[in-house]
Amino acid sequence: MELWDAYDKDFNIIEGMMLIRGQEKDIPEGVYHLVCHILVRHADGTYLLMQRDPRKPYPSMWEATAGGSALKGEADMEAAERELREETGIEADELYEIGRTISDETHCVYVEYFCTTDCDKDSILLQEGETVAYKWADKDTILSMSEDELLSHRMQTYLKTL
């Protein structure tokens, strides 16, 4: 069972409240769980795209991020570093926060990070049950991806400013 801290819309932990993965439909109005996304750029200027497992929601779509939910007691930076390592095998030297958003629909508060790496591009590890493929793409390719290909279009906004 995966446990999450409960957050308010200002990204503050709600003391004494705990959320359970799989029970998102039971999260009360105005309560959120923390999700971290990491946009990864290689030193050569390409960006890492991860393809979702076909058994997950939004099956087989590409994401311009690695990431996921923060575990109970885990700060956003810790969650970002762990998710990046679990989903890609990349050990981030440094992550920079590039944005925060709130979704009342999904009951999520999102913290988005940016990571630059010079890792071996063929060394990306896929996490069983999460991702099935990866590829490196240039900025123009990602910006041209449609809504039925790319899951998070927020990352396209960030790409335009980076």
pLDDT, tens only, 28-42: 999 999 999 999 999
Nearest to 114 by CA among 66, 51, 58: 66
pLDDT on residue 116: 95
CATH number at 129 reads 3.90.79.10
**Could you tell me how many helices (H) and strands (E) the chain has, helices first?**
3, 9
Instruction: Using a pLDDT cut of 90, give the percent of the chain over it.
Output: 81
* Phi/psi at 20 (5° precision): -125, 130
pLDDT on residue 129: 92
pLDDT on residue 155: 78
How many domains does the structure of the chain reveal? 1
Rounded to whole angstroms, how far apart are CA atoms 7 and 152?
Answer: 22
Structure tokens at 147: 């809504």
Is residue 96 a contact partner of residue 113, using CB atoms and an 8 Å limit?
yes
Q: What is the Cα Rg of the chain in Å? A: 15
Maximum distance among all Cα pairs of the chain, rounded to whole angstroms: 46
pLDDT on residue 124: 97
Domain membership of residue 49 as a residue range: 3-161
pLDDT digits (tens, 9 = 90+) for 50-64: 999 999 988 999 999
Is residue 124 a contact partner of residue 115, using CB atoms and an 8 Å limit?
no
Residue in this structure with the two tokens 């991702």, named with its chain if needed: 131
pTM: 0.90
Rounded to whole angstroms, how far apart are CA atoms 96 and 161?
Answer: 14
One-letter amino acid for residue 159 of the chain: L
Rounded to whole angstroms, how far apart are CA atoms 135 and 69?
Answer: 23
Q: Is residue 45 scored above 80 in pLDDT?
A: yes
Conformation bin of residue 79: beta by default, left when phi > 0, alpha when psi is -120 to 50: alpha
pLDDT on residue 74: 97
Instruction: Using a pLDDT cut of 70, give the percent of the chain over it.
Output: 100
Is residue 49 a contact partner of residue 134, using CB atoms and an 8 Å limit?
yes
